[in-house]
Amino acid sequence: MTKSLPPITDWAKYRNRIEYEDNLLNERINIFLVINGLGATAFSLADSYGVKLILTATIILVDMFLSICIMQTAIHIKNLTIEYMEDANDPIDMRVRYSLNWVPIFLKPTPILGLWLPIIITSSWLLCIIILLCNK
């Protein structure tokens, strides 16, 4: 059963919501990068194999949860933006999007920040734990 949504009458408010979600994505990415930077520093300073293993496992777990939040925000931005592009008739937004038409969708900023960056960094930590376990 799908719920019928009321029509949007205030496109400026809608656009502000997209910008809010975009700022939220940026804040979550910053938190993600800081945690990973601190984790990498702690990992390099750790002398004990056990500490490195626990630290790596913890970072992987934290990264997975943060990645879920980041990806949900990116999907939300995508869905809001699609509706905005279809219905708002914003000439400035149309020109900006037209200037980026040559860029494949998976290489645009939101997919890079909201999908690829968390996957690459979390995969690096997974590789790290595999190497740790294999070299014991």
> Which pLDDT tens digit goes with each residue over 78-124?
999 888 888 888 888 888 888 888 888 888 888 999 999 999 999 99
Please give the backbone phi and psi of residue 30, each rounded to the nearest 5 degrees, phi first: -60, -45
Residue 88 lies in a domain: yes
pTM confidence score: 0.85
Residue 2's pLDDT band (cuts 50, 70, 90): low
Residue 77 lies in a domain: yes
Residue 62 lies in a domain: yes
Report the domain count for the chain: 1
Residue 52 lies in a domain: yes
Kind plus residue range of the DSSP H or E element containing 75: helix 49-87
pLDDT at 17: 93
Query: Does the structure show a pLDDT above 80 at 24?
Result: yes
First-to-last C-alpha distance (Å) of the chain: 54
Residue 39 lies in a domain: yes
Q: What is the DSSP letter of 101?
A: T
Burial level of 71, CB count in 10 A (0-12/13-18/19+)?
Answer: middle
pLDDT at 66: 95
> Which pLDDT tens digit goes with each residue over 55-87?
999 999 999 999 999 999 999 999 998 888 888
Residue 3 lies in a domain: no
Residue 5 lies in a domain: no
Rounded-to-integer distance, Cα 63 and Cα 51, Å: 18
Residue 86 lies in a domain: yes
Q: Domain range holding 50?
A: 11-134
Burial level of 31, CB count in 10 A (0-12/13-18/19+)?
Answer: middle
